[in-house]
Amino acid sequence: MSYTFSRRNFMKYTALAAAAVAVSGSLTGCSNPNRPVGKTGDTLKPGSGICEATLLNSADKKPSYISATHTLTCNFKIVTKIELLEITDSHFQVDVTTAAGTKHYYYNTTPAPSLGNTANPKAKKNSVTEATLTLNLDLSGATKVAVLYTPKHGATGEPNDSYNDIYGTWDITDAIKDSIPTA
């Protein structure tokens, strides 16, 4: 059996393929409900029913950076929706982008974000934890600073059963930009 493929068919299928590629490119702008993005004051709900996390923005609890001591501070209110949610240092990450476009990620590193005595390693379902995240680092020349919260690392504790792709990200650049020294 033979198939003929005319020039007309070739042009028709080429146009359809080009349209499909164009449409698929526009779909990448869709947000992922497992990875919500916000700014200071926003409540994010990473994952389906795991928690509601708010980066506080009240006068005494908004993100701050003290350049003299290189101290970044962020206050969170986390409402758990599941039993025994871990709210610990290892569940937070700070991403810093420099003017040169270099990105630095701070999580289980030196320096590392710390919750100190506000950590809650076994938060009960429907409980509220107010956690204060601090990180000591020089933000001179930073053009973007974001804080990520990953509510769960593992679903069942097995290494291959991970929730690390579920997190909320707050862009705190505007909240602290006046405190960041230029490089």
Give the DSSP letter of residue 63.
Answer: -
Q: For the domain covering 37-179, report its CATH number.
A: 2.60.40.1240
* pTM summary value: 0.78
pLDDT at residue 145 greater than cutoff 60: yes
Which comes out higher in pLDDT, residue 12 or 84?
A: 84
Residues listed for the chain: 183
CA-CA distance, 162 to 133, in Å (whole number)? 24
Task: Indicate whether 15 pLDDT > 80.
Answer: no
Please give the pLDDT value at position 19. Answer: 53
Structure tokens at 74: 């962020």
Q: Which helix (H) or strand (E) holds 38?
A: strand 37-39
Beta strands in 102-172 (DSSP E): 103-106, 120-123, 128-136, 142-149, 168-171
Residues in CB range of 114: below 8 A, 6 or more apart? 89, 133, 134, 135
Q: Outline where the chain has alpha helix (H).
A: 7-27, 173-176
**Banded model confidence at residue 56, pLDDT cuts 50, 70, 90:** very high
Which whole-number Å values give the CA distances from 19 to 9, 28, 132, 159, in the listed order? 15, 15, 49, 41
pLDDT tens digit string along 16-45?
555 555 544 444 456 687 899 999 999 999
Domain range list for the chain: 37-179
